[in-house]
Every structure is written in structure tokens, then in C-alpha cells.
Structure 1
């Protein structure tokens, strides 16, 4: 870009011949190097290179773009790592106390790098510029006068909010995004992240059914406890179906503290209880999917080996590669959008909803065993569907 005719027409620069890579290049003035650019990831090597010079006037800057990845935002370890990099490494790369640091990022959590700066954890004379997706007259009145007149006041919602850039982000689309996932929207779009506590999963966002649509596919999802002590989680098996309306339905569930061989018997009995089907209204159970870890690994192997009176049960393991909070945050938008439906009446549904509503970011909730297989079902049937099951029923 910097060597294009268009760029040089605005900023005539001469690039040194000794280094022209995207990550490292220098500018030449009067035959001498007069500065340059060094680009590296936040976790890359920055020692040995300083921004700016020990001289008066403008001498360069440190520009940091998106120092925290979205996938690390729900991990306290990931957030802490990004914050440590800012404080321990980036700050020391200033050649002069006057060398500015510019951080450009979307807000992802209250204690993300911007939150660290705003709370005083990264000392300095910082100026914060927030550009939310939905703005109102109060926000516009705080802008410089020469900017206020350029704001396009498009259609407003009932709270008097309008899009900051209606040509690119129409109000209707922004409101739909906000309704789908308020936590993500408040951070990434409004730059005001909400605290992650309880209330991540809202019980009133589940759809409710009394009559089922035609079910195109059914699977059993299982989560087994490591131990059966009083304080440990339960083992859970859930039957989920994909409806012809493209929503998923929790059809049945069992939950208890079982050790082998009772754990295997419970899993097989649950499968057999739902084996029968009428192809006019439902589909056969296609698989039993269990977390491939701890007691789940042994259960997968036991069921795969079969046994007297068991019949054939296609069983497969599920590898969960991210932490529980990240997995929940990745799928909660499907719940908020009404794509996940539970019974209006069932003996277990009240406890299921209570556990979902109690789920917290800091792990202070008592149990979350019913949440894991639900997340697996959402991932399997909604987020990453393997097939168009309507061809098979």
C-alpha cells in the first residue's frame, strides 16, 4: 500500500531497499534512514526495538490493534496474559517518555486491556475515545462541534437511539443483534461490556413446547461425573431432536449419581426407552454422544463392545477443547434467539432451568452437569450441523 501511486500522491515516501517486508521497513529522507515500521503480534518478539527517538517533536508511536482475541475474552488467564504484555513489555519499548501509545480494540470484557487502562492499571495520561454502534443525542452533544453537524440522525428506536453509521449498520440490524446476544452487543458494539456473573443463560429465553413439530433427527448426549460424592456433579443423559422448523427440542432427560455398571445400564435403558419411532412424526435415534474423558471414556468403550440384550448403539466421543464458559458463551445466542426449546411441563424442567440460570462466569454455581450436554447438542445440531436430515426422513 505505502508503495502504491495513490499513497505516494498523498504521502511521498521513499522506502529503503534493505528491508521491504510487511513486518519491517524503513523510510529514507535525503539518503538516510529516518524511521521505520516494525509489526509483530502481541505475543511476538519486541525486545531490542524501541518506538520513537530521544529528540523533541514527533518521533513515532506504539500502535496496538486488538490486543485480546475474542476466544481469549472469556478466559481469565487469557485476559491476564494480554494485560501483562501491555504493562511489562509494551511500555518498556518507548524510547522517550513522550512516545504515545495508541490502543485500538473492541471491548470484550470489563477487565480487558482497555478496562485495565481505564482503571489505572496501566499508568499514563490516557484519552479514551468510545464509538458505540447505537448513539443518542446525549452522545452527539459530547462530540466536537465540527463533528456534530456530520452525524446522520437516522430513524430512532423507542429509546431515541440511532445507528452511528446507518449506511453500513442499519438500525434494524443493530437492534436484532442486540436482542440476539445482549452481552456480546454491549461489549463489542456499544463498548460497554457487562459483568459476567449469573444470568448468562436466561431461562425465559428458552422456547417452550406442548406439541412437537416433526422431528428430523434425534441424538442422545451424555455427560458423566468423575465421582459420585455429594458435592460432585451428576451424570446426565439428554435426548435432543432437530425439528423441521430448524429449532432443537429437549425431548427427555435423566440425571443421577451412578457408578459402573449402573451407569452403563442407565445409558442403555434411556436409549432403549426412546428407540421406537413413527417416521411420520419423528426419526430414529442416530447416535449416543458422550464426553470422551474420565468415566465417559470407559462408558464409550463399554457400550461400543456391546453385550447381551444391549442391541446396537452407535456411540461416539465428544472432545471439548475449550473451557466451559467459552463453550457456553459461544452458543448462548442460539438460546437468546429462541432456537432452543424445552417442554412446558416435565418433572425435570424446573431444575434444568434453575441450573442454567445459576451458571456463572466465576464458577460459584453449585452444578452445571445439565448444561454440558445441552451445549453439545446446540453445537452438533445448530452451530455445526453435519447433514440435512430432511433427506433421510
Structure 2
């Protein structure tokens, strides 16, 4: 199916083609490495532009295409121009055709294209979730790539879907809107989607649930494991090529599970399903979302308290959310330490949080700086995946419960996301902790939180990070 489509592009029967395919399933091998060599070997006067999120990646595609043509010179009876054979730009000896590698967002100066191939215009989820980056890709497509086409030029977009508003999403929406308005005058897009797991009416003739490439290790069991690890939101986008609007789909109400606290004698227990844990045997930590400035009283301040079971289930025990000024945050953090005795408090290392971390450390408080190098949606995906597989529990009947769950369900379209931020931090923390951290600790409350053992407690918490 893919090769047949590429042949039609080469012949000019198709002018606009979108190919969507899961990661590591060979899309670049066929479209960006082999097809350019095959087409230009048969059409040595044509020019091809190969573009990807990185010019280095595009050069790699171009190099393989060049070497493929050289290896099969006898088949095509043409060869690479010895005076013009760099991976970034190479030509055909005796003809005007050739291949140019480019990075999405970069210039394509002085080059035309009978065929333009865009292979994965964004690098990762962080870029895909960035509205600025999506706009940058779109502007580049319209103002740079599209303007290099010859009158009968063709475009192939081959990519793994990340976001409903990615390049493929925008191209199809633009076409759909123009058709509805009666203003569409260009070529229509032919879309070929290869979902990792066959769905209804699979165009390859697979039965529902059949994997796309089991011979390469992506069998049904492996794909189910991937789905469990990354969550449905990511899996449906990357592997099924069905990205959905994030609102109401990252966190779903059916993911929510609950635990309760009960006393047996004077001993508090945490009951999670059929399991019962002594509360004092579980270790806890807090995640803190700070106010954004020192003066405003409108910024929310949140402290979430979490317990962790030996099987790495996260138990959300308490959420304290208020509006305070910057100088009041550290005293409130101390109150939360005295109330819950966590092993550490985690704070995002950015803006006011950076100063707060330094102040807390100077006063001997056990805080941990959490590096922030991704957008909010991307950071939320780890905890969202844990919710989906049933590894996060909320304390039932808590006063804060409705407000907290409403914020999760409305994220990222909702008015607030500070409580989600604390959950995202918790997911990252548990995800990176060693298994030994989860062992139940058979110590008494007085031993564990004796003020005389503060230094020992800090040393223990260091080993958990």
C-alpha cells in the first residue's frame, strides 16, 4: 500500500499525501531514504527537498538516499555528480536534478522541489505540545517549504502524530474548512494511516486488534505493555494516530480510585482495596506548587501530601490549597511538615520556587528541587499513565476531593492547574525512585520523627531521591 502510493506520487497521479505511522515502524526507511533514490534515478532532472525537525536528521536521510542511488547505478544508469555530493545537497551527474536536506524552520535558499518530503516536523511531545512550536512549523510550511514547489510539485508529509493541532491536523482542518466554505481550490490530501493495532474497517484487511508489525517485535503483548506504560492519551496519538483534544482526555473520572483510613485500637491503618497497611510503615512526601510572586495574594499555593505503598501505588492523603503572599509560604510549609512529617518537600526549581528552595535549605528544611524542562501537559503524562493503570488513589470523603478531581478533569483547558502540577511532580518522583525505597519501614512514629534524629532523617531522604 505505501509503495503503491509512492509510485503514484512519482508519476504525478497524487500531489498531496499524508502518511501517519507509529514510531520505529519503518516510515522513514521507505519514504525518506529509499523513495528519493528510486524516484530521482528514474527522473534525474527532478529536485527533491528532504526536511525534518533537525537538519542533521535530514542529512542522514539524504546520505542514505545518495548511497542507495550510487550502489544501484547500473539499475538506473545515472550517478551522483562527483562535484556535488555532500549529504546536505547532492546532484545527478549530467542533469539538473538532486536532493537537498533541510531542517524544519530553516531556510531553503535557491532550491526548488518537484517533490517535498516532510518527515517528522517536531522532535518530541514537548515540542508538539508547544503552541509556539506548532505555529513555527506552520509558518515555515506556508512561507518557506510551500513556496519552493514547482507548478506540478508534490508534497509528502510522513509523521507520527503527537497532537490534534500538529501539522497534519492543521492541513486537514484547513482543507475541511475550505471545502465547507466552497473556497478550496488546491489539491486534496490523500491520507494513509497505519495504526499499530487494527481497528474497524482496517484498510490493510487486518482483523480488529491485529498488530501492524509483529515480526519486528511489536506484537499484541508488546503494544499492550507500551499502552500501559505511556497511557491511552499518548498511545492513541503516537501508535494509533488518533490524537484527541486534551481537555477531559488526559485524566478521566473512571481512572479515579480511593482508599480509606481506619483505626484498629490506637493504630491508624490505610486500606487500599483488599490490602491494609500500617500508616506509620509507609513513607510520605509532599509536593509544593508555590505562588508566583512575593506580593500578590491572588496566586494559589498548594501542598499535596502523598503516601507510597511497597507496590508503588501513590496515595493522595491531603491537599492544602490557599492564597497567600510570598513571604508566608515558608512558614506554611513548616506547618505542613509538623502536621504530616514527610520525608521531604518537593518544589519546582523555577521563578519564586528557586528562591524558596534556597531559603528553606538555609534553615535546615529537607526540600528537593524539581527541574522543570517540559511544558505542563508533557509533565502530566507520567502521572496520567499511573492513574490509568490504577496506581493512584485518593482519600475518600476528603473535603478537598471534589475541587481536586474537577481540576484534573478540566486540565489543561481549565482555569487552574496548580493542583495538577503537584500531582505531576509526584508522578515523576515515584517514577524515578529505586525499588528499595518502597520497602515497608518497621519503625515507630516516635523513632521516625524524633526531633533529635533530624539529621539522620535528612540523610535517609537523600537516599530516596
Q: Does the alignment reach a TM-score above 0.5?
A: yes
Q: Distance in 2 between matches of 1:81 and 1:202?
A: 31
Q: Match for 2:190 among 107, 117, 127?
A: 127
Residue 92 of structure 1 deviates from its aligned partner by: 0.9
Alignment check: 8 A CA contact 1:63 1:102 kept = yes
Equivalenced residue count is 347
Alignment check: 8 A CA contact 1:187 1:194 kept = yes
Q: Match for 1:35 among 93, 97, 116?
A: 97
Give the corresponding residue for 2:137.
82
Q: Judging changes above 3 Å, is the alpha-carbon distance between structure 1 residues 37 and 216 closer, same or farther for their aligned structure 2 residues?
A: farther
Give the corresponding residue for 1:336.
388
Task: Indicate whether 1:205 and 2:255 are aligned.
Answer: yes
3-state SS in 1 of match to 2:393:
strand
Give the corresponding residue for 2:460.
none
Q: Deviations over 1:23-81 (max 9, x none)?
A: 222222xxx244221112112221221124xxxxxxxx111101133322212222111
Give the corresponding residue for 1:290.
347
Q: Distance in 1 between matches of 2:430 and 2:201?
A: 44
Q: Match for 2:90 among 25, 28, 32?
A: 25
Alignment check: 8 A CA contact 2:305 2:317 kept = yes
Q: Distance in 1 between matches of 2:188 and 2:118?
A: 17
Task: Indicate whether 1:14 and 2:79 are aligned.
Answer: yes
Q: Distance in 1 between matches of 2:312 and 2:239?
A: 28
Residue 247 of structure 1 deviates from its aligned partner by: 2.5
Q: Match for 1:357 among 400, 409, 415?
A: 409
RMSD: 3.1
Q: Distance in 1 between matches of 2:348 and 2:202?
A: 48
Give the corresponding residue for 2:163.
109
3-state SS in 2 of match to 1:108:
coil
Give the corresponding residue for 2:302.
236
Which stretch of the first structure deviates more once superposed, 235-244 or 84-93?
Answer: 235-244
Q: Distance in 1 between matches of 2:326 and 2:227?
A: 46
Give the corresponding residue for 2:240.
190
* Map 1:1-393 → 2, pairs under 5 A: 1=64, 2-3=66-67, 7-8=72-73, 11=76, 13-28=78-93, 32-52=94-114, 61-70=115-124, 71-94=126-149, 96-120=150-174, 123-136=186-199, 138-140=201-203, 151=205, 153=206, 160-168=208-216, 169-175=218-224, 177-178=226-227, 181-210=231-260, 211=271, 213=277, 217-226=283-292, 232-259=298-325, 261-275=327-341, 285-306=342-363, 312-329=364-381, 331-361=383-413, 365-382=414-431, 384-385=432-433, 388-389=436-437
3-state SS in 2 of match to 1:97:
strand
Q: Deviations over 1:75-99 (max 9, x none)?
A: 22221111111111101112x2112
Which stretch of the first structure deviates more once superposed, 170-179 or 124-133?
Answer: 170-179
Residue 7 of structure 1 deviates from its aligned partner by: 4.5
Q: Judging changes above 3 Å, is the alpha-carbon distance between structure 1 residues 93 and 344 closer, same or farther for their aligned structure 2 residues?
A: same
Alignment check: 8 A CA contact 2:119 2:159 kept = yes
Q: Deviations over 1:123-182 (max 9, x none)?
A: 434322222223356233xxxxxxx6xx5x4xx5xxx44333343432344455556622
Q: Distance in 2 between matches of 1:289 and 1:134?
A: 39
Which stretch of the first structure deviates more once superposed, 8-17 or 256-265?
Answer: 8-17
3-state SS in 2 of match to 1:115:
helix
Stretches of structure 2 that go unaligned for 5 or more consecutive residues are 1-63, 176-183, 261-270, 442-465
Q: Judging changes above 3 Å, is the alpha-carbon distance between structure 1 residues 330 and 97 closer, same or farther for their aligned structure 2 residues?
A: farther
Q: Judging changes above 3 Å, is the alpha-carbon distance between structure 1 residues 374 and 25 closer, same or farther for their aligned structure 2 residues?
A: same
- TM-score if structure 1 supplies the norm length? 0.77
Q: Flag as ranges the 4+ runs of structure 1 deviating above 4 A.
A: 4-13, 175-180, 212-217, 227-230, 390-393
Q: Distance in 1 between matches of 2:317 and 2:102?
A: 50
Residue 369 of structure 1 deviates from its aligned partner by: 1.6
